[in-house]
């Protein structure tokens, strides 16, 4: 599939955030949305995932009826605290098992609760949940921010492993590790 972002504009009052953003992302590839803090990376992902509305411009795909499923990895702590990691995974994938979590190297977290995890463990669990959801578009917001080098490398490796012919992966980041893993880089400049 192809995702076409066409002439997207977004301002908050007189503050211009996105100014005619246009690019195409193809399935089987990783696109890095690169920009310094405040350049509009999260704003773009919010528009893509329907949490915010663009002032003008469109996002379309070449899928029949334009319907697509998106799986997002936000920056924040969005796992459900009352559920174990295993139960959190089952919210997006009925068949999630400890063995399946092993594939993401987080099998040992299956029975633990989100609040008991370190930052790195939490992020790895969140990435796993994002990828366990069957989707055509994966949108990751700064997945390696504030992580130690080893965990960041692991996250990048798993993003690369998830590349497949049926889905588009978009990663908002200013981490050189992500730039190196990307097939395409889209630069966001502060207008």
Ligand X SMILES: Nc1ncnc2c1ncn2[C@@H]1O[C@H](COP(=O)(O)OP(=O)(O)O)[C@@H](O)[C@H]1O
State the Cα–Cα distance between residues 100 and 77, nearest whole angstrom.
22
Stretch that binds ligand X, among 21-29, 32-40, 57-65, 81-89 (CB under 6 A): 32-40
Rounded to a whole number of angstroms, the minimum distance from the CB of residue 45 to Mg ion is 8
Residue 46 — φ and ψ, nearest 5°?
A: -65, -40
State the Cα–Cα distance between residues 23 and 186, nearest whole angstrom.
7
Query: From the list ligand X, Mg ion, none, which binds 164 (C-beta under 5 to 8 Å, kind-based)?
Result: none
Per-residue binding letters, 12-51, with Mg ion (x by CB under 5 A): -----------------------------xx---------
Stretch that binds ligand X, among 39-47, 62-70, 85-93, 110-118 (CB under 6 A): 39-47
DSSP 116: G
Residue 69 — φ and ψ, nearest 5°?
A: -105, 140
Q: Which is nearer to Mg ion, 43 or 88 (CB)?
A: 43
State the Cα–Cα distance between residues 169 and 179, nearest whole angstrom.
13
**Is 86 a binder of ligand X (CB under 6 A)?**
no
Q: Which is nearer to ligand X, 39 or 144 (CB)?
A: 39
Rounded to a whole number of angstroms, the minimum distance from the CB of residue 72 to Mg ion is 12
Stretch that binds ligand X, among 41-49, 91-99, 125-133, 152-160 (CB under 6 A): 41-49
Q: Which is nearer to Mg ion, 5 or 96 (CB)?
A: 5
- What burial class does residue 92 get, using C-beta atoms within 10 Å of its C-beta: 0-12 exposed, 13-18 middle, 19+ buried? middle
How many Cα atoms are found within 13 Å in the side-chain-facing hemisphere of 62?
A: 11
Cα–Cα separations (whole angstroms), residue 87 to 2, 40, 80, 111, 159: 33, 33, 9, 8, 22
| Window 2-31: residues binding ligand X (CB under 6 A) | 12, 17
Interface residues with Mg ion (CB under 5 A) are 41-42
Interface residues with ligand X (CB under 6 A) are 12, 17, 35, 37-43
């Amino acid at each position: 599939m192809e995702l076409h972002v066409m002439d997207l504009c977004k301002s908050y009052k007189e503050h211009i955030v996105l100014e005619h953003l246009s690019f195409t992302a193809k399935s089987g590839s990783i696109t890095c949305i690169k920009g310094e803090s405040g350049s509009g990376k999260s704003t773009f992902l919010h528009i893509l995932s329907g949490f915010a509305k663009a002032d003008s411009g469109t996002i379309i795909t070449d899928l029949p009826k334009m319907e697509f499923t998106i799986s997002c990895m936000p920056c924040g702590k969005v796992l459900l605290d009352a559920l174990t990691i295993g139960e959190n995974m089952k919210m997006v994938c009925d068949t999630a098992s400890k063995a399946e979590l092993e594939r993401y190297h987080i099998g040992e977290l299956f029975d633990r609760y989100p609040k008991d995890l370190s930052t790195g463990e939490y992020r790895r669990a969140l990435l796993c949940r994002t990828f366990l959801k069957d989707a055509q578009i994966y949108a990751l917001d700064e997945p390696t921010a504030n992580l130690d080098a080893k965990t960041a490398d692991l996250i990048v490796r798993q993003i690369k492993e998830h590349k497949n012919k049926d889905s588009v992966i978009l990663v908002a980041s200013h981490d050189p590790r992500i730039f190196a893993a990307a097939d395409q880089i889209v630069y966001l400049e502060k207008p």
